[in-house]
Amino acid sequence: MTATEAAIREFLVTEVFYDRDLTDLGVEDSLLERGLLDSLAILKTVTFCEEHFGIAIPDGEVLPDHFESVQAIAALVERQRGSA
Amino acid sequence: MTLLPDLVSRAAGRHAQRDAVVMGSRRLSYAALEQASNRLARSLIAHGVRRGDRVALWLPKSPEAVVALYGVMKAGAAYVPVDPGAPPARMAWIARNCEVAGLVTCADRIARVDEAFAGRPPMRALWVTDDAADAPRVAGLPTVTWPALAAESAERPAVPAVDADLAYVLYTSGSTGDPKGVMLSHRNALAFVEWAGDTFGVTSEDRLANHAPFHFDLSTFDLFAAARAGAALYPVPPRLFAFPAAVAKSWCEQRLTVWYATPSTLVLFLTRGGLASLDLSALRVLLFAGEVFPVKYLRELMRLAPHARFANLYGPTETNVCTWYDVKGIPADDAPLPIGVPCCNDEALVLDESLKPVPGGGAGELWVRGATVMQGYWGDPGRTALALQSIEVAPGISDRAYRTGDIVRRRADGDLEFLGRRDHQVKTRGYRVELGEIETTLHRHPAVDEAVVVAIPDEEITNRLKAVVVTRPGAAVSEADLRQHCAATLPRYMVPEAIEFRAALPRTSSGKVDRRALQELSS
């Protein structure tokens, strides 16, 4: 797990899923299949990534494929870092 | 006399090959929906589900979920849709409270169902909407998988029923700490669906969006107005649900003609969904309900779709829609939209504390009588008696009316204006939340001494929830601990976004917690 993935995973577990016992959440596991994300959870995650990693995520990038898993969100963060 | 599932049976006769449900790449015709729900009804009956029973649905939105709710009603039972995002403990509480005879779920939830009921499930059997041949089983419970339904006849079973029978039970937040089940009959639902279908001219050519989850009463318009007209229903696939840009784009690309959603949803389409750059030419009717629509966003929406008809629908779950306002334009002074005039064969009464009419445009509490008013709260005659009371409407006319808790006034032009609540019920993202239910939940944590939840007004989602907590001396508990505690029994939207710890709560001179002071400190 990369440092970016670890930070995103930690945020999701404590601040989005409210379940620190969610120890089995792997970086490739589908977040969307779990049915736990709503639009507010996505907005919180976007805000967290923007503040924590000092990047901007345009609304047009906030799409299911980019939030499929911890790994997908980390890839989005890295792409936005590259384009900054 | 019509029952809700008759709408599908009739559509299957007139529009057999038309789309009933379109979801992503999946399509279900009216003929297919009719046959699949008939087979499920027969299976339910074969496993002992009887007229008057309840059957819970706990599964993500899918064509099978639509089949399930019609199948349950065709068996003469009422469907009990549980928030698919609700924790298993809440699902189990509702299933026990409503004494369900069956549960429809999907394979990847079976283990959670088994755990939630701890070996003592209240239902007679479980139905699983996918091919779950190798899925785990719930101990001691027959499990019927979807492919096994093929063995049942596709003829609709004959079940005696009248439209006064229960069609569904919707659980909503309860101020004392437990959810309450609002009982609605077929007639209740049809009074709304017939009015809405006629008023907005829904035909078999329409394509209706379905954004609201099935446990939210906005979905009754989508489901049943579509079936009544033989129109197509487009439920939002769960994968897209949290992404306003993806949902708005798919609705425009699929050229959906009728949208019904909460203002929170529509505001997110505008602010985060790129609606301004999409083709809205197919949009014919846009309905919204559940909370106050911020006027500046509504104006923007009407500018983007000048050809569409807009309407503000009002009503708590207990009455479904009981008043409406036909939006012809935005008031020049940017005043909030009225909730309008009664509809659906309902009457709106503005009463004072002694249940007498408030004269001449004064503020009073809104009571509603008529065709959409609920049958009561499941298994709770006490709360039912408080909510439904006999009111003298006119000399010689007394009728059962529902006390909404909403403070309104009637303007000179006859339109009702919503002014606020008389209690601690708030809206967040269109969901109705009793702050007391969250407070009771926080109090159940051993480290919590006092807890108050306040609603902080928010332009995009109406309110954000914040808890202010005083812990017991010596108790160590973190914000994350308390949120985890809440999320174990409450739906996600009821978990406070922020939790603040204080040494003491502000008090009024009479010693009560000063909610207003807390609200001001937080805003």
For chain B, domain boundaries: 4-241, 425-522
Are β-strands B397-410 and B388-394 bridged in parallel, bridged antiparallel, or unpaired? antiparallel
Q: Which residues of B touch A36 (CB under 8 A)?
A: 85, 492
Residue A17 confidence (pLDDT): 85
Dihedral (CA of B259, B263, B265, B271) sign: positive
Give domain B425-522's CATH number out of 3.30.930.10, 3.40.50.620, 3.30.300.30, 3.30.200.20.
3.30.300.30
Say whether residue B427 is in contact with chain A using an 8 A CB cutoff.
Answer: no
From residue B64, how far is each of B36, B37, B106, B332 by CA, in Å? 9, 9, 10, 47
Instruction: Please tell me which of the candidates B84, B108, B245 has its beta carbon nearest to residue A63.
Output: B245
Q: Which residues of A touch B129 (CB under 8 A)?
A: none
Cα distance between residue B75 and residue B160, in whole Å: 9
> Per-residue pLDDT for A24 more than 80?
no
Q: Which of B169, B164, B165, B186 is nearest to B6 (CA)?
A: B186
Say whether residue A47 is in contact with chain B using an 8 A CB cutoff.
Answer: no
Give the list of residues 6+ apart from residue B389 with CB closer than 8 angstroms, or none: B355, B400, B401, B403
H/E segment holding residue B69: helix B63-74
Question: Coil, strand, or helix at residue B376?
Answer: strand
Say whether residue B272 is in contact with chain A using an 8 A CB cutoff.
Answer: yes
Backbone angles phi and psi of B89, in degrees to 5: -65, -35
Say whether residue A54 is in contact with chain B using an 8 A CB cutoff.
Answer: no
**Cβ pair B288, B262 in contact under 8 A:** yes
Question: Coil, strand, or helix at residue B405?
Answer: strand
To the nearest whole Å, the CA of A51 is away from the closest chain B CA by: 18
Q: Which residues of A touch B487 (CB under 8 A)?
A: 17-19
Q: The domain containing residue A60 runs over which residues?
A: 3-83
Give the list of residues 6+ apart from residue B85 with CB closer than 8 angstroms, or none: A35, A36, A38, B491, B492
Cα distance between residue B408 and residue B367, in whole Å: 10
* Homologous superfamily in CATH for domain B4-241: ANL, N-terminal domain (3.40.50.12780)
**Cβ pair B231, B224 in contact under 8 A:** no
The answer to whether the CB atoms of A40 and B493 lie below 8 A apart is yes
H/E segment holding residue B298: helix B295-304
The answer to whether the CB atoms of B241 and A39 lie below 8 A apart is yes
> Per-residue pLDDT for A23 more than 80?
no
Say whether residue A32 is in contact with chain B using an 8 A CB cutoff.
Answer: yes
The answer to whether the CB atoms of A18 and B480 lie below 8 A apart is yes
**Cβ pair B129, B58 in contact under 8 A:** no
To the nearest whole Å, the CA of A12 is away from the closest chain B CA by: 12
The answer to whether the CB atoms of A64 and B484 lie below 8 A apart is no
Q: Which residues of A touch B88 (CB under 8 A)?
A: none
What CATH number is associated with residue A21? Answer: 1.10.1200.10
Cα distance between residue B169 and residue B166, in whole Å: 8
- Find, in chain A, the residue whose alpha carbon is nearest to that of B464: A40
**Cβ pair B233, B18 in contact under 8 A:** no
Half-sphere exposure of B449 (CA within 13 A, CB side): 12
Find where tokens 């299949």 sit: A33
Q: Which residues of A touch B429 (CB under 8 A)?
A: 38-40
Give the list of residues 6+ apart from residue B517 with CB closer than 8 angstroms, or none: B506
To the nearest whole Å, the CA of B86 is away from the closest chain A CA by: 9
Instruction: Please tell me which of the candidates B239, B268, B495 has its beta carbon nearest to residue A39.
Output: B268
Question: Coil, strand, or helix at residue B513?
Answer: strand
Backbone angles phi and psi of B322, in degrees to 5: -125, -20
Q: Which residues of A touch B238 (CB under 8 A)?
A: 32, 35
Of B156 and A21, which is predicted with more confidence?
A: B156
Chain A interface disruption, residue of B82, B83, B216, B239, most A CBs within 10 A: B239
Residue B349 confidence (pLDDT): 97
Residue B334 confidence (pLDDT): 80
From residue B234, how far is each of A1, B196, B209, B231, B313 by CA, in Å? 39, 18, 5, 10, 21
* Contacts by residues B29-34 (CB-CB < 8 Å, ≥ 24 positions apart): B30/B230, B33/B8, B33/B63, B33/B66, B33/B67, B33/B70, B34/B8, B34/B9, B34/B154, B34/B156
Residue A36 confidence (pLDDT): 64
Cα distance between residue A8 and residue B52, in whole Å: 48
Say whether residue B480 is in contact with chain A using an 8 A CB cutoff.
Answer: yes
Chain A interface disruption, residue of B241, B431, B458, B462, most A CBs within 10 A: B241
Number of domain units in chain A: 1
To the nearest whole Å, the CA of A11 is away from the closest chain B CA by: 11
**Cβ pair A30, A67 in contact under 8 A:** no
**Tokens standing for B275?**
């609606």
The answer to whether the CB atoms of B487 and A32 lie below 8 A apart is no
Backbone angles phi and psi of B220, in degrees to 5: -65, -30
Instruction: Please tell me which of the candidates B60, B274, B429 has its beta carbon nearest to residue A35.
Output: B60
**Tokens standing for B107?**
């394979």
- Find, in chain B, the residue whose alpha carbon is nearest to that of A20: B484
Q: What is the pLDDT along chain B (523 residues), one digit of tens a residue?
A: 899 999 999 999 999 999 999 999 999 999 999 999 999 999 999 999 999 999 999 999 999 999 999 999 999 999 999 999 899 999 999 999 999 999 999 998 999 999 999 888 999 999 999 876 777 788 789 999 999 999 999 999 999 999 999 999 999 998 888 999 999 999 999 999 999 999 999 999 999 999 999 999 999 999 999 999 999 999 999 999 999 999 999 999 999 999 999 999 999 999 999 999 999 999 999 999 999 999 999 999 999 999 999 999 999 999 999 999 999 988 777 888 999 999 999 999 999 999 999 988 999 999 999 999 999 999 999 999 999 999 999 999 999 999 999 999 999 999 999 999 999 999 998 899 999 999 999 999 999 999 999 999 988 888 999 999 999 998 889 999 999 999 999 988 999 999 999 999 998 888 888 888 888 887 7
**Three-state SS sequence of chain A:** CCHHHHHHHHHHHHHHCCCCCCCCCCCCCCCCCCCCCCHHHHHHHHHHHHHHHCCCCCHHHCCHHHHCCHHHHHHHHHHHHHHC
Question: Coil, strand, or helix at residue B278?
Answer: coil
